[in-house]
Structure 1
Amino acid sequence: MEQLSAGKKLDRAFEKLGKEKTISFELDLDTDAASLKALDASSDPEPGDEMPDEAADLLSGAKISVTVESKKPIDESGEKDYVGMAMKVSTADGDLVEYRVVGDYSYFRADMEAIAEVADKPLPPTDDLPPEAEPFKKVLDGEWVKFNTKEMEKAGAEMGAEPGAKPSPEPTLDAKTQKKLLDALRETIAREVDFKTSGDKDGTEHITATAPFRTLVTELLGEIRPLAKDLPPGMELPTDKDLKDAPDAKVSADFTLKNGELTEVNIDLAKLAEDAKVKKFGLVLRLSEGEKPTAPAGATELDLEEIMGGLAGAMMSEEELGDEGFPEEDFPEEGFPEDAA
C-alpha cells in the first residue's frame, strides 16, 4: 500500500507540474571542492589537465536557474509553443552567465573576467581588438547583448552547408513517442524502485525512492529499446554490455511535496563514485512558481551578418593557407651540378 500510495502521489505531483504554463527551477550541485577534486583524480587525467582549485571552488558553489514559458500547458507544448526562456548560472560571488529568449530576440551576458580566471586564460585587452571584433567588446565588458533568434539559427545552419542547401530540421520527439517513453519510465520505476514516506507536517511530506543504479538504468533501457525506431536520428542507446561496469550501488532520491505539489528533489550520488574520498556529491532540484521571462533593458543588438561574415572570412583564410602551403621553388629536374674539383 505504501508503494502504491507514494507512487501515486508522485504521479499526481508531476501531473500538476505538466498543467502549468510557466515553470521555474534551480539546479544545485550538493558537493564540495574536495569531493570534486577526488572525482577528477579518479578519472586519471593527463598531467597538467587536473581540475584547477579555482574551478573546483566555482563548481561546488554553482547554481543553474531556469524558467520556461509556453502558450499551452507544459505537457501539451511543442517546440513552437514556447514563448520565453531564461537561464542563469550563478556562484557565491555573483552571476556568471545569463541567457534569455523573449519574443524574437535572444539576450546574453557573462562575467568574462571570472570565466577567464577559472580557465587561467587572460582576456585580450578590448583596445587591442580589430575593428571587425567591435561587437565582442560589449560581451567582454559583461554587458547585455541581443540578436534575432531566427536569424542566428538560420546563420548557424547555413555555415558549412552546401550552397543552396536547405537547413535540416532539428530532431524532435512527437507527442506519441514522448508518452510511450514516459510510460516506460513509470513502469520501470514501479517495478524497480522502493518508496518510503515520512513527515506530513504543515502539508509537507517526504517520499524517498531507492534503487540500484545499474539495474535501474538497464531495465529502463530495456523498456525503451523497442521504441528506438521512433527516436530522432543519432540517438543511440547504450547496450547492456556498455553498462556492465556501471556501479550498482543504491541511489536515493528524496522528493519534497508541499500540499501535493513537488517543491524539491534531492539525489545522493556519492556512492556511485566508489571512492571513499568523495564525501559529498549530489544534485538538488528546487521548483517554484514560474516567473515570466522579461527582456533586459539597454541590450546592444549584434549584427549577425557582420559577425558571421568575419568568422567565415577568417576560416577561409586559414583553409587557403593550409591548402597552398609554402611555395615550391622551380628546381631543375637533373639536380644540382657537382662542384668542380
Structure 2
Amino acid sequence: MPVAVTASVLATGLAACGTVEQLSAAQKVSKAFDKVGDGKSAGFKLSIDATPEQIVAFAKATGEKGAEGGGMDEKSAKAMSGLSIAVAVSADKPLKEIEAFKNAKGSAADKDLTLDKSVRISYVIADRNGTSLLEYRQVDAKGYLHVDAKGLVKLVGEDPSQVDAVSKDLPADMGAVKEVLAGKWISLDLQELADEAKKNDGKKATPSGAPTADPEAAKQLVNSLKDVLTRTVTYEDKGSKDGTEHIWMSAPARQLVDEMFKAVKPVADKFPQQFKKFPSQAPSDVPDRKVGVDLYLKDGAFSSATFDFAQLADKIEPGVNFPVKLAFDKSAPNVQAPGDAVKTTTEDLMKAVLGLAAGGTGPRPGAGLDPENGPATAVAPLTDAQLKELAKLGVPETQARAFNSLGMSFEDIKEITQQG
C-alpha cells in the first residue's frame, strides 16, 4: 500500500516536469511539487483510511483467508484501520539544499563522513488513536529509538505478557534489546558510526571497485520514464472546494507497467546496485484497466493524495474500497531529543541484531549460525590480513570482530558487505 500511493505521487511529480507542462492540471501539480522542497520543514503521513468494515469487505472480496480460513475478523480489521506512518524533517535551510553527508575535507577518495547536525528527522508508526508504537528520531547526528513492544504484540492479537517472558530469557550481552522491550528510549551516536568507517584503512564506504551507474545511462533512463509517463498519465481538474483544488491523475495500469518495464530493461544492467534482480518480464497480474489517484492542492502546494487500493485487485465488486492516504504538511513538528535515552554503542547494536537473527538465544563467541537451529559449529577467528581486507570494504575492525564473535565467518561478513 505505501508503494502504491508513494509511487503514484512520485510518478506525478516526474511526469509533471517539462513536456506535460502544456496541460493546465499538470502545471498545477508540477508547481505544487516544486514547493515541497522550498521550505525548511516538511511532514508526510501515510495512513490506512479504510474503515474496519471496508477492510473486512475488501478481505472477503479478494479471498483473504485469515482467522483460520474464515476471513479477516473485525478485531484485526479494527487494529489495521487508521494505522499510520508519519515522517517529519526540518533543517536550518531549504530541504532541497540538504545533503545527508558532507565532504568535510580531502578528496572524494579520502572524504570524511560528517553528518549535517542541522537536519532533524522523525519516523512514527502509530495506531488509530495516535498512540506511538514505534518511533525513531535523528537530532544533532544522534539516533533515538523507542518501541512500544507490548502495544505491537497486542495489535496483532497476542498476549502482551509474552514481551516480559522474552526479555527475561535474553542473555546479558543483549542489553540493548532488553532496554527496547522495557519501553525505554535508546540512543546511538550516528557520527561515531560514520567515523568508524574511516578507521583501520576503511576509507571507502563501498567495496573497492564496486561498479557505478553510467551518467549517460541514467539520463537515458530518466528521459525514457518521462516519455512513458507523459504518454500514459492523464490529469483531470475536478475543481476546488474551500480553497483546496482536486486533481484526478490516472493511467492504464497494465500499459503503464509494460511500457515502464520496456524502458528500464535495456539499461538495467548498467545499474548493478539498483537493479540487481530485475525481472525477465513485466508482471502479468496487473489489471488491464485505468487506475488513478486523487491529488489535493492547498494554496498551490501539495496537500494530500488518496489512493484506493481496491483498484489493483483482479476482480472487485462495485462499492468495495480500501483507501489509503498520503498527507503533506509544510509546518512539520519540531523534532526534539528525548531526555532519558539509554546510550547504546555500535557493538551493542550489532550483538542485538545478530542475536535476534540467531533466534534470540545469543550465540556463543566463535559459534556459527545455523539457519534453522541458531548457534552451530565454531568459526575461525579473523586474521590480521582478513581484518585489513574487510576494513578496505568499509567494515571497521571493532565491527568485524563483533560480527565474528557472534558466529560470522570472514566469508559471511565479506559477502554481506559486498551485497550492500
2:24 corresponds to: 5
RMSD: 4.1
1:57 corresponds to: 78
1:285 corresponds to: 326
1:120 corresponds to: 158
1:192 corresponds to: 232
Stretches of structure 2 that go unaligned for 5 or more consecutive residues are 1-19, 103-115, 356-361, 379-420
Q: Distance in 2 between matches of 1:283 and 1:107?
A: 28
Q: Is the 8 A contact 2:126 2:132 kept in 1?
A: yes
Q: Is the 8 A contact 1:96 1:110 kept in 2?
A: yes
Q: How do residues 133-282 of structure 1 correspond to structure 2 at under 5 angstroms? A: 133-151=174-192, 168=206, 183-235=223-275, 236-239=277-280, 241-276=281-316, 279-282=320-323
User: What SS does structure 2 have at the residue aligned with 1:34?
Assistant: helix
Q: Is the 8 A contact 1:36 1:56 kept in 2?
A: no
Q: Distance in 2 between matches of 1:21 and 1:175?
A: 30
1:323 corresponds to: 377
Stretches of structure 1 that go unaligned for 5 or more consecutive residues are 325-341
Q: With a CA cutoff of 8 Å and minimum separation of 6, indicate the structure with the bigger relative contact order.
A: 1
Q: CA deviation at 1:131?
A: 3.1
User: What SS does structure 2 have at the residue aligned with 1:323?
Assistant: strand
- When residues 192 and 46 of structure 1 are mapped into structure 2, their CA distance, relative to the original with a 3 A threshold, is same
Q: Distance in 2 between matches of 1:274 and 1:282?
A: 16
2:59 corresponds to: 37
Pick the structure with greater CA Rg: 1
User: Greater shift after overlay, 311-320 or 26-35?
Assistant: 311-320
Q: CA deviation at 1:144?
A: 1.2
Q: Distance in 2 between matches of 1:59 and 1:72?
A: 37
Whether 1:308 and 2:331 are equivalent positions in the alignment is no
User: Greater shift after overlay, 275-284 or 5-14?
Assistant: 275-284
Q: Distance in 2 between matches of 1:176 and 1:24?
A: 34
Q: Is the 8 A contact 2:123 2:136 kept in 1?
A: yes
User: What SS does structure 2 have at the residue aligned with 1:142?
Assistant: coil
Residue 68 of structure 1: which of 63, 82, 89 is its match?
89
- When residues 252 and 275 of structure 1 are mapped into structure 2, their CA distance, relative to the original with a 3 A threshold, is same
User: What SS does structure 1 have at the residue aligned with 2:49?
Assistant: strand
Q: CA deviation at 1:15?
A: 1.3
- CA distances 1:265-295 after superposition (whole Å, capped 9, x unpaired): 1112212112437922232110002334321
Q: CA deviation at 1:171?
A: 9.6
Q: CA deviation at 1:258?
A: 1.4
Q: CA deviation at 1:54?
A: 5.2
Q: CA deviation at 1:243?
A: 2.1
Q: CA deviation at 1:76?
A: 4.8
Q: Is the 8 A contact 1:2 1:195 kept in 2?
A: no
Q: CA deviation at 1:86?
A: 0.8
Code of the aligned partner of 2:147: A
User: Greater shift after overlay, 123-132 or 99-108?
Assistant: 123-132
Q: Is the 8 A contact 2:304 2:328 kept in 1?
A: yes
Code of the aligned partner of 1:133: M
- When residues 67 and 131 of structure 1 are mapped into structure 2, their CA distance, relative to the original with a 3 A threshold, is same
- When residues 38 and 130 of structure 1 are mapped into structure 2, their CA distance, relative to the original with a 3 A threshold, is same
TM-score normalised by the chain length of structure 1: 0.75
1:92 corresponds to: 128
Q: CA deviation at 1:73?
A: 4.1
Q: Is the 8 A contact 1:30 1:280 kept in 2?
A: no
Q: Distance in 2 between matches of 1:12 and 1:37?
A: 38
| Overall identity of the aligned pairs, in % | 30
Q: Is the 8 A contact 1:85 1:100 kept in 2?
A: yes
Q: Is the 8 A contact 2:62 2:316 kept in 1?
A: no
Q: Distance in 2 between matches of 1:230 and 1:70?
A: 35
- When residues 57 and 319 of structure 1 are mapped into structure 2, their CA distance, relative to the original with a 3 A threshold, is same
User: What SS does structure 2 have at the residue aligned with 1:305?
Assistant: helix
Residue 24 of structure 1: which of 43, 46, 71 is its match?
43
Q: Distance in 1 between matches of 2:66 and 2:92?
A: 46
- When residues 37 and 183 of structure 1 are mapped into structure 2, their CA distance, relative to the original with a 3 A threshold, is same
Code of the aligned partner of 1:323: T
Q: Distance in 1 between matches of 2:250 and 2:186?
A: 45
1:337 corresponds to: none
Q: CA deviation at 1:136?
A: 2.8
Whether 1:101 and 2:141 are equivalent positions in the alignment is no
User: What SS does structure 1 have at the residue aligned with 2:363?
Assistant: helix
2:340 corresponds to: 298
User: What SS does structure 2 have at the residue aligned with 1:297?
Assistant: coil
TM-score normalised by the chain length of structure 2: 0.62
Q: CA deviation at 1:134?
A: 3.3
User: What SS does structure 2 have at the residue aligned with 1:218?
Assistant: helix
Q: CA deviation at 1:46?
A: 12
Code of the aligned partner of 2:88: T
